[in-house]
Structure 1
């Protein structure tokens, strides 16, 4: 056999072997991704792993652990039942406090309104057998020329006061006009009878007046027609409620 024939024979043998190898390789790859079903072949995609699954092991144990870690991280931002209960309780407490505050404020207003025709007289000498209201009305008539008809007086009696001092006299008038006529001569009455006349103020309003009196930035404080007032260093008048923050109110 000539040298040329030997080269041709070797080339053909090598080509057959390479072709056969390539065919076997393709068949092996197709068998991994195809499934025979009768005369048809359906292509089956390989199962995709979850993004958190980084393990190549067949039991997926590391995959499950990673998924559980992700779930735990996401649950950290979810409020616990105890936290929700605490928030709800705080909201309920705040709402109840607001209702209670408003209830006290309205109650104080109603009580003060019911006293609008009343006056109190302090330091009036007290006698064991005194005859109120006739004795006081006679003194007012004789001392300051103020003649008040007894029918204008709904009630006049002593009320508890400081120990060692005469008990204050509470007067309830029938009409507001009668009270006004008395207050117009308040200065004369105070000087003639050595007493002090004032409005019948609720305990809460009196406490507010005391706080205003003791405040460094309040020059004067007073009660008028159901409300409490105070003036600051610049002479500006402010109206105060029982739950007001005095410092904040003065800045307005």
Structure 2
């Protein structure tokens, strides 16, 4: 009997232990479901069941006799039913879960779409940038190659043109030097020829005397008239053969005064003997006498007389002389520069 009693107590202890575990599990589920309140009967039962002594006492006190059917506590069943009802009331409905899940999925879908769009945009931008960069780089390379080719061609062309121009320049410079030398030689020759021509012309006229202000007469005989005037005024007797030629210079007219007369004497002595009397007052009543100068010598003497640095200028024996304001005498030729000549 004792052994049977011990076995019965052990079975009841195991059953109480299982009941306690079930109650603990129920309490955890209720807590997970968010239940704020638990039925008083369930809480008291849970607390009482958690005490080992009470569990033992209850088991020993309420355990039915061996072999008798186990009685069910209606209060506990009522409390469990109420707890189940509360749990059922607090549970979320399937439709609510579906709505929540749908809302979450829609939100996630929108967020995923947005993220995908942003990623696609970034990828497209990156690809476009890369394509543009590659295209620009390619175009820059092509343009650089074209530019280098063009510059090289232009450089080669310029170099060739420059070389051709340089050769032409050297050739023209050589020709210019030759022409310059020839021009200098021609200029020197021309100056020498001009001086020689003027000198020869003046030499051919060295025995000539130019008479101005000699009144014209249609029946005039210039040779006889000249011999008579010189004899009657200054007492110079001339042979008709002493006057080789005598004539008036063509051109002019009565409105410009009498035309000058040119007389060529046989030799220089006769010419000098006559021209020395040119300052005679009685002779000036008939005409004025001058050396017969070439045009260039006449212009030279005129320029010298008009220069403030020259006191006087004159002609003697085929040459032109001048006296400056300092009293220094200078000999001039037709191509001499007055300033350069005075500095020497």
2:272 alignment counterpart:
180
User: RCO greater where, 1 or 2, for CA within 8 Å and sep 6 or more?
Assistant: 1
Question: Could you say which structure has the larger radius of gyration?
Answer: 2
Say which structure is richer in strand. Answer: 1
What are the residue-to-residue correspondences of 1:90-239 with 2, within 5 Å? 90-160=180-250, 163=253, 164-188=256-280, 191-239=283-331
Q: Tell me, what secondary structure is at the counterpart of 1:187? A: coil
Which residue of structure 1 lines up, in the alignment, with residue 10 of structure 2?
none
**Equivalents in 1 of 2:246, 2:185: separation in Å?**
42
Cα distance 1:139–1:99, how it changes in 2: closer, same or farther (>3 A)? same
Taking the aligned partners of 1:178 and 1:189, their CA distance within structure 2 comes to 21
Measure how far apart 1:172 and its partner are: 0.5
Query: Once superposed, what is the RMSD of the aligned Cα atoms?
Result: 2.3
Deviating more after overlay: 141-150 vs 198-207: 141-150
Q: Which runs of 5+ in 2 are unaligned?
A: 1-155
The answer to whether the Cα contact below 8 Å between 1:133 and 1:156 also exists between their aligned partners in 2 is yes
Deviation digits for residues 121-174 of structure 1 (CA, Å, limit 9, x no counterpart): 110111111111102211211122111111111011111365411111111111
Larger helix proportion of the pair: 2
Secondary structure of 1:133's match? helix
C-alpha offsets along residues 28-72 of structure 1, whole Å, 9 cap, x if unaligned? Answer: xxxxxxxxxxxxxxxxxxxxxxxxxxxxxxxxxxxxxxxx9xxx9
Unaligned runs of 5+ in 1: 1-67
- When normalised by structure 2's length, the TM-score is 0.49
Residues 192 and 199 of structure 1: is their aligned pair in 2 closer, same or farther, counting only changes over 3 Å? Answer: closer
The Cα shift of 1:195 comes to: 2.2
- Cα deviation code 1:66-119 (max 9, x no counterpart): xx9xxx9xx899872222122222221121111111111111101111111111
- The residue aligned with 1:89 is 179
What SS is found at the alignment partner of 1:181? helix
Q: Contact 1:144 / 1:189 at 8 angstroms: preserved in 2? A: no
Partner of 2:332: 240
Secondary structure in structure 1 of the residue aligned to 2:258: coil
Aligned residues: 181
What is the 5 A alignment of 1:9-20?
A: none
- Mapped contact 2:230–2:283 kept (Cα < 8 A): no
